[in-house]
Amino acid sequence: MQLTLALALQACWVFISHAIQHSPASWGHYDVCKSQLHTDGGLVWYYMACQPESTDMTKFLRVNLEPENITCGDPPEIYCALENPYMCNNECDAETEELAHPPELMFDAEGRNPSTFWQSTTWQTYPRPLQVNITLSWDKTIELTDDIVITFESGRPEQMVLEKSLDYGRTWKPYQFYATDCLDAFTMEPRSVREISQRTLLDIICTEDYSRGYVWKYDKTVRFEIKDRFALFAGPRLHNMASLYGQLDTTRNLRDFFTLTDLRVRLLRPATGATTVDEENLSRYFYAISDIKIQGRCKCNLHAASCVFDKGKLSCECEHNTTGSDCSRCKKHFQGRAWSPGSYLPIPKGTANVCVQSAPAGRLNVSSLGVANRNRAGVCDDVLLRCQNGGECVQQQRCRCPAGFSGVLCESERCAGGRSCDELRSGRDCRLLSSLTLVYSLTLSLSLSFLFI
Q: State the greatest distance between any 2 C-alpha atoms of the chain, in Å, as a whole number.
A: 94
- Distance (Å, rounded) from C-alpha 269 to C-alpha 359? 60
Distance CA 420, CA 417 (A): 9
- The number of residues in the chain equals 453
**Angle in degrees, CA 282, 286, 292, rounded to 5:** 175
Residue 396: Cβ within 10 Å count: 16
Residue closer to Ca ion by CB (options 110, 219) is 110
Q: Contact region for Ca ion (CB under 5 A) — 125-133, 186-194, 237-245, 289-297?
A: 289-297
Q: Which of 51, 71, 90, 116 binds Ca ion (CB under 5 A)?
A: 116
Alpha carbon distance 269, 77 (integer Å): 20
Of 12-20, 83-91, 287-295, 314-322, which segment contacts Ca ion by CB under 5 A? 287-295
Tell me if 132 contacts Ca ion by CB under 5 A.
no
Q: Which is nearer to Ca ion, 104 or 392 (CB)?
A: 104
If residue 9 lies in a helix (H) or strand (E), which one and from where to where? Answer: helix 2-22
Min dist CB 292 to Ca ion, Å, is: 9
Residues 6+ positions from 183 with CB-CB distance below 8 Å: 189, 190
**For residues 12 and 132, which CB has a smaller minimum distance to Ca ion in the complex?**
132
Q: Which range, of 75-83, 89-97, 103-111, 369-377, touches Ca ion by CB under 5 A? A: 103-111
Q: Give the residue with the Cβ less far from Ca ion, 110 or 317.
A: 110
Q: Which helix (H) or strand (E) holds 260?
A: strand 259-269
Instruction: Report the nearest approach of Ca ion to the CB of residue 209 (Å).
Output: 23
108 or 195: CB nearest Ca ion: 108
**Total binding residues for Ca ion by CB under 5 A?**
4
Residue 234 sits at φ, ψ, to 5 deg, of -100, 0
The only residue of 32, 33, 105, 383 in contact with Ca ion, by rule CB under 5 A? 105
Q: How far is the CB of 372 from Ca ion (least distance, A)?
A: 53
HEC states along 150-190? EEECCCCCCEEEEEEECCCCCCCEEEEEEECCHHHHHCCCE
Residue 452 one-letter amino acid = F
The set of residues, in sequence order, having a beta carbon less than 8 Å from that of 237 and lying 6+ positions away, is 231
Q: Which residues within the stretch 404-433 sit at the binding site for Ca ion (CB under 5 A)?
A: none
Residues near 129 by beta carbon (within 8 Å), at least 6 away in sequence:
268, 269
Does the footprint of Ca ion cover residue 290 (CB under 5 A)? Answer: yes
Q: How far is the CB of 289 from Ca ion (least distance, A)?
A: 8
Least distance to Ca ion, CB of residue 111, Å: 9
| Cβ-based nearer residue to Ca ion, 116 or 145 | 116
Which window, 48-56, 110-118, 128-136, 295-303, contacts Ca ion (CB under 5 A)? 110-118
Task: Give, for 91, the enclosing helix (H) or strand (E).
Answer: strand 90-92
The single-letter code of the amino acid at 337 is: R
Measured from the CB of residue 101, what is the shortest distance to Ca ion in angstroms?
10
Site membership for Ca ion, residue 100 (CB under 5 A): no
Task: Determine phi and psi for 230, rounding to 5 degrees.
Answer: -60, -40
Q: Which stretch binds Ca ion (CB under 5 A): 97-105, 154-162, 194-202, 348-356?
A: 97-105
Q: 298 has which bridge partners?
A: 142
Q: Give the shortest CB-210-to-Ca ion separation in angstroms.
A: 19
Q: How far is the CB of 312 from Ca ion (least distance, A)?
A: 22
Q: CB of residue 104 vs Ca ion: minimum separation in angstroms?
A: 9
Q: Do residues 28 and 411 lie in contact, with contact meaning Cβ atoms separated by under 8 Å?
A: yes
In the complex, the residues that contact Ca ion under the rule CB under 5 A are 105, 108, 116, 290
